[in-house]
Amino acid sequence: KRGRGRESPMQVHAVATRYAAAQLELSRLVCQLITKAASVDTASDRGFSLVDQMSSDQRRVLFALLERYCLAVECLAFPLPQGFPSFLTYLGYRTLSFSAFLQYVQANVLQLQIDVMKAIMMEVPDTQEGVEQKLRLLQMLPRSRGKRLLNQWQHPASLMVRARQHAQNILAGVEGAQARGYPQRSRNQVISRGLAAFPSEDRLSPLDTFLDLLTAKANLAELDFNLLIAATTASTEEFL
């Protein structure tokens, strides 16, 4: 009887698992009740599409309620329902002004996960204001996440940012990996393109001078000439 009252590690783990599951179920139930209290019908739509179908008044009410719900859950150390952080972030984006939305993100109230960032990147038009907003949000992401979204954004601004980062990393000796999305070619295959795009009297354009500087810092295989030239060309065009 010496071991009486002692629980094995497996029993403790099972009890802890049931307790956490009960917390999650209660948290999910409260979230559903809050959604109904805001007069939001979840029968036909879920997730981001549900936010898109709401009226502006419904969004404001639901965001105010879910913001307080999120704070209460964190204070009680309860788990949040799966997908809730991204849903709240997208709801906040559609409800708040952009400046207020940035403040919420900077305060870590809203989280820029990859799924919500993809939705926002698709939602924001590529106008001058829209491009500035996208770049502002991308700067707030971890480097790997921001690089992934930049590679997927087909816009001259994305080209220039990626080329700037690529050149900066080469000059700083941080990385020598080639940028994605542009197959590597020898410098002889792209040098004529650089000269043609930016001619000068001595046939030595500023772009080629810069490429010479980069080749002095790294191997040819480490440089993405196509990306650098495409970004330089895009920087001279009116795309906004």
DSSP state of 217: T
Q: Are 149 and 138 in contact (CB under 8 A)?
A: yes
In terms of pTM, does the model score above 0.85? Answer: no
d(CA 151, CA 159): 8
pLDDT band at 90; cut points 50, 70, 90: very high
Give the 3-state secondary structure of residue 226.
helix
- Token look-up 């989280």 returns 111
Handedness of CA 98, 104, 110, 111 (dihedral sign): positive
pLDDT band at 143; cut points 50, 70, 90: confident
d(CA 58, CA 22): 29
DSSP state of 2: T
pLDDT band at 96; cut points 50, 70, 90: very high
Q: Give the model's pLDDT for residue 221.
A: 67
Q: Are 131 and 140 in contact (CB under 8 A)?
A: no
Residue by residue, DSSP assigns 29-96 as HHHHHHHHHTT---SS--HHHHHHHS-HHHHHHHHHHHHHHHHHHHHTTPPPPTTHHHHHHHHHHHHS
Q: Which amino acid is at 185?
A: R
Cβ atoms within 10 A of the Cβ of 112, count? 21
